[in-house]
A and B are shown apart, each in its own frame.
Chain A
Amino acid sequence: MRPFPPTFTSNMTSRPGGRHVSFGPRDNEQPAQTEENAPTPAQLNLTRLFEQNQERQQKNMAAKATEQPPDGPAKGKPRLLLMGQRRSGKSSISSVVFHKLPPSETLFLESTARIQKDQLPSFMDFQVWDFPGQIDIFENPTFDMDAMFGEIGALIWVIDAQDDYMEAVARLNITILNLQQTYPNIKIEVFIHKVDGLSDDFKLDIQRDITIRIQDELSDHGFENAPVTFHLTSIYNHSIFEAFSKVIQKLIPRLGILEAMLTNLCRTCRFEKAYLFDVTSKIYIATDSAPADMTSYEICSDYIDVIIDVTEVYGSWPRSEKYRGALEAPPWSQKIEDQVASNWAESCMVLSDGNKPIILREVDKYLALVAIMKEDSYNKMPLVNMNVEVIVQGLKEFFDITKPK
């Protein structure tokens, strides 16, 4: 019997696994492991889990220490508040969207006991606050309302559509009425959640029913144009990302300019559709004025996945100095930096049907521009690239100007 080859691969994370990779040049890149005495992938996974737990615990501790939400450093950052009945799926939503947890694993999430505050390193540094469902904040005088709702932001109210939603709607009504009096600027987004198990007709019926109940209650109290929006969501498809995209878009100052830039790009390059993505969460923060459809959004966000995965495999290890030297020697005789056209990731894919290429261009660490082009555009790639470059410069300027000081 010959000895068995080490065929076991314990790195069994499926593709949408929990990791945060940017495909831009990294600031402090270190080789993850050395050749000799490298820990096995299983060990690495364990350490990772351990660290995550530690982090969570620390976060809990912090939340405990300051029951009153801290204010100072958080000023100016838009805030998303996730609220709703218990077991309506708030923590599942935030872990799927912001922590890349596979939807099937959200079954094992524990019930949230304290307010979970997440700082997201993203293009605009927003915070996500996950509220425990069993606490009613208006009956609890220890909560500092002003600290919670004083900043700009959105309140996301999650309603479980597969359950009896009367109580949830009643509580939502109370919340809206309370907020409308003191903080009329806060945007209220209602996620009619867990609609994946329902038929299309039933979904629309539920949405209509909830809308009517809330609007009636509001107009009874004399609020005619309260900023309440409804979304049908599920974590098992892209609808949750699309709903979040719409919510985030409302929080971006001067979104119109971004949209105008993208529309302009679409016109000059004859693109079918262009999206500006936040890479880590795959939320799109702007798109052109053409009507958005689910399929093009899905393909673009899946393409980001592909690029992240490929970059993780081939771009995450440092090449040796000697090799680099050989690459800069004749016949090329140029520094590597001068040999490339762009320091950021550029990618393009040509599909076989009617040559409908998809292009991706990284804007900065957090943002990427993904667009679907029209037939035969691949032949004009150099021209397209030049136009995209101009827009990318424009976007960078835009974010420099609008950045909160």
Chain B
Amino acid sequence: MADTETTTQSMSHAAVSDVRNEVKKPKKKKVLLMGKSGSGKSSMRSIIFSNYIARDTRRLYANLPTPYTLYTRSVRGATIDIDLSHVKFLGNLTLNLWDCGGQEAFTENYLTQQRVHVFSNVGVLIYVFDIESRDVDRDMATYVSIISALTQYSPTAKVYVLIHKMDLITMHAREAVFVDRVRLVQQKTSEYTQAAGISGEVDLVPFATSIWDQSLYKAWASIIHDLVPNLSVIESQLGSLGTIIEAEEMLLFERTSFLVVSSWTSEEGRHNPTGDRQERMSNILKHFKQSISRFTGTPRNAEQFTLMEHKAGTRFSMFVCKFTTNTYLMVVLPPGEARFNSARFNCQIARESFRFLDGAASGQGQGQRY
């Protein structure tokens, strides 16, 4: 684990260190990961941030409905209380991720004794619903009470609702089931806000997810996307680079999680009929990283490749290269050897102007401290 430091502490320690943290950096917002027990919160986190992979475990437990969960269970067990982790992302953004255990006893506890501690200063709440859950009413009741606590202490927090384990629904029924469930969540939320007399609406974004395909990357990429600082700078710089090298599309990936931090698409590239290509690319490349790690015997979190280039005759050419310390850049170009080579060269040069991605902000912070 190069830059994902996970600290699991007992609650009392956590409270102390958290108080210290808050004194030091008051503006670091919390990301709460909540949902019913067994809904797949920790599995999700392990896949995105610790480079676990669904496929590896599928081989071991091929006939079970969600083998991965069972696997995490047997190895890590259910999350006890709150699992605090600080995930470093892009060098200068540290996510303060609170993975909250889903057992009812814990949930009770969050809502009563630890209410202030858990729900104050929250930036993002990610609430996970298990699509297979039998007791939907109770799930909704828990959800509403959590939303009420959230609106009380962090009214500005963003709420992401992930309808998880969608792979267990048959292919053609998925869309209907998802829309149906989302409507229910929406309705419950608005019922609550009206009853409580809250004027502002709760900002709610729903996603259908599954650990077996790219939908997980789509959800997390958009969650992370909203948290990345100076995004507009990255986007405009990427845009001008893309115009210079005549690219069709450029994607900027974070190094370990391979989530898409930022992207730029040309006029022509927007006609591409594949709508979910960003998360598909994340999924493809991350899967291949696992293969490489098996091939070379290096740890999964290690950086696995430095360059990949592919020229598909007269159709397109593309390359993925290591860009800054924390990012990979993927460039899709129209065909042409000369264009390809000059684009690669230009991207080398452009690295300089993207240096700020490597934790320049934290560098400044240190400067101020001394």
Interface residues of A (CB under 8 A from B): 1-2, 4-5, 7-15, 23-25, 31-33, 35, 38, 40, 42, 45-46, 49, 103-104, 107, 196, 236-237, 295-296, 298-299, 302-303, 305-307, 309-317, 319-320, 323, 327, 332, 336-337, 339-353, 355-356, 378
Minimum CB–CB distance from A284 to chain B (whole Å) comes to 16
Among B166, B275, B296, B314, find the residue whose CB has the most chain A CB atoms closer than 10 A: B314
> A340 touches which one: B205, B288, B305, B336 (CB < 8 A)?
B336
Q: Is the C-beta of B197 less than 8 angstroms from some C-beta in chain A?
A: no
- Chain B residues near A319: list those with CB within 8 A: 268, 271, 334
Minimum CB–CB distance from A134 to chain B (whole Å) comes to 24
Closest A-B pairs by Cβ, 9 of them: A339-B336, A347-B310, A302-B291, A299-B295, A315-B315, A349-B308, A350-B307, A323-B268, A343-B313
Report whether B283 and A15 are in contact in the complex, using a CB–CB cutoff of 8 Å: yes
- Chain A residues near B268: list those with CB within 8 A: 319-320, 323
Query: How long is the Cα–Cα vector from A339 to B248 in the complex, in angstroms?
Result: 17
Query: How long is the Cα–Cα vector from A265 to B339 in the complex, in angstroms?
Result: 29
> A13 touches which one: B213, B287, B295 (CB < 8 A)?
B213
Can you list 20 contacts pairing A with B, beta carbon distance less than 8 Å? A1-B190, A4-B186, A7-B205, A7-B207, A12-B174, A33-B273, A42-B174, A46-B171, A103-B62, A237-B59, A306-B284, A306-B287, A314-B277, A314-B316, A317-B274, A319-B271, A327-B246, A348-B309, A349-B307, A351-B296
Q: How many A-B residue pairs have CB under 8 A?
A: 206
Query: How long is the Cα–Cα vector from A70 to B305 in the complex, in angstroms?
Result: 51
Report whether A351 and B62 are in contact in the complex, using a CB–CB cutoff of 8 Å: no
Interface residues on B, range: 35 or more
Q: Is the C-beta of B276 less than 8 angstroms from some C-beta in chain A?
A: yes
Report whether B291 and A347 are in contact in the complex, using a CB–CB cutoff of 8 Å: no
Closest to A323 in B: B268
Restricting to B43-70, which residues have a CB under 8 Å from any CB of A? 55, 58-59, 62-63
Restricting to B268-307, which residues have a CB under 8 Å from any CB of A? 268, 271-277, 279-281, 283-285, 287-288, 291-292, 294-296, 298, 302-307
Report whether A4 and B312 are in contact in the complex, using a CB–CB cutoff of 8 Å: no
> A12 touches which one: B210, B288, B332, B336 (CB < 8 A)?
B210
Report whether B272 and A314 are in contact in the complex, using a CB–CB cutoff of 8 Å: yes
- Chain B residues near A345: list those with CB within 8 A: 310-313
- Chain B residues near A315: list those with CB within 8 A: 312, 315-316
- Chain B residues near A298: list those with CB within 8 A: 291, 294-295
> B62 touches which one: A104, A342, A348 (CB < 8 A)?
A104
Query: How long is the Cα–Cα vector from A110 to B59 in the complex, in angstroms?
Result: 22
Minimum CB–CB distance from B324 to chain A (whole Å) comes to 15
Q: Is the C-beta of B369 less than 8 angstroms from some C-beta in chain A?
A: no
Among A236, A340, A350, find the residue whose CB has the most chain B CB atoms closer than 10 A: A340
- Chain B residues near A32: list those with CB within 8 A: 273
Report whether A8 and B175 are in contact in the complex, using a CB–CB cutoff of 8 Å: yes
> A347 touches which one: B212, B305, B309 (CB < 8 A)?
B309
Q: Is the C-beta of B206 less than 8 angstroms from some C-beta in chain A?
A: yes
Closest to B335 in A: A340
Minimum CB–CB distance from A111 to chain B (whole Å) comes to 18
Restricting to B333-357, which residues have a CB under 8 Å from any CB of A? 334-339
Closest to B330 in A: A310
Query: How long is the Cα–Cα vector from A341 to B313 in the complex, in angstroms?
Result: 8
- Chain B residues near A31: list those with CB within 8 A: 273
Among A7, A314, A350, find the residue whose CB has the most chain B CB atoms closer than 10 A: A314
- Chain A residues near B143: list those with CB within 8 A: none
Q: Is the C-beta of B233 less than 8 angstroms from some C-beta in chain A?
A: no
Q: Is the C-beta of B95 less than 8 angstroms from some C-beta in chain A?
A: no
Told that A12-B166, A319-B334, A323-B268 touch, could you supply 20 new A-B pairs with CB distance under 8 A?
Answer: A8-B175, A9-B218, A12-B212, A15-B287, A25-B314, A32-B273, A33-B273, A42-B175, A45-B172, A295-B295, A299-B294, A303-B291, A323-B334, A337-B314, A340-B335, A342-B311, A344-B313, A347-B311, A349-B309, A352-B302
Known: A1-B186, A42-B174. A352 touches B306 (CB 8 A): yes
Minimum CB–CB distance from A49 to chain B (whole Å) comes to 8
Query: How long is the Cα–Cα vector from A345 to B299 in the complex, in angstroms?
Result: 31
Query: How long is the Cα–Cα vector from A356 to B296 in the complex, in angstroms?
Result: 10
Query: How long is the Cα–Cα vector from A1 to B285 in the complex, in angstroms?
Result: 37
Chain B 228-259 interface 0/1 with A at a Cβ cutoff of 8 Å (1 = within): 00000000000000000010110000000000
Restricting to B140-191, which residues have a CB under 8 Å from any CB of A? 166-167, 171-172, 174-175, 178-179, 182, 186, 189-190
Report whether B212 and A14 are in contact in the complex, using a CB–CB cutoff of 8 Å: yes
Closest to B183 in A: A4
> B175 touches which one: A5, A10, A237, A349 (CB < 8 A)?
A10
Report whether A7 and B218 are in contact in the complex, using a CB–CB cutoff of 8 Å: yes
Report whether A341 and B337 are in contact in the complex, using a CB–CB cutoff of 8 Å: yes
Report whether B172 and A336 are in contact in the complex, using a CB–CB cutoff of 8 Å: no
- Chain A residues near B190: list those with CB within 8 A: 1
Query: How long is the Cα–Cα vector from A63 to B17 in the complex, in angstroms?
Result: 72
Q: Is the C-beta of B208 less than 8 angstroms from some C-beta in chain A?
A: yes
Q: Is the C-beta of B84 less than 8 angstroms from some C-beta in chain A?
A: no
Report whether A352 and B305 are in contact in the complex, using a CB–CB cutoff of 8 Å: yes
Q: Is the C-beta of B204 less than 8 angstroms from some C-beta in chain A?
A: yes
Report whether A24 and B182 are in contact in the complex, using a CB–CB cutoff of 8 Å: no
Q: Is the C-beta of B318 less than 8 angstroms from some C-beta in chain A?
A: yes
Report whether A10 and B174 are in contact in the complex, using a CB–CB cutoff of 8 Å: yes
Query: How long is the Cα–Cα vector from A14 to B246 in the complex, in angstroms?
Result: 32
- Chain A residues near B63: list those with CB within 8 A: 104, 107
> B312 touches which one: A23, A103, A327, A355 (CB < 8 A)?
A23
Report whether A303 and B311 are in contact in the complex, using a CB–CB cutoff of 8 Å: no
Report whether B318 and A314 are in contact in the complex, using a CB–CB cutoff of 8 Å: yes
Report whether B213 and A12 are in contact in the complex, using a CB–CB cutoff of 8 Å: yes
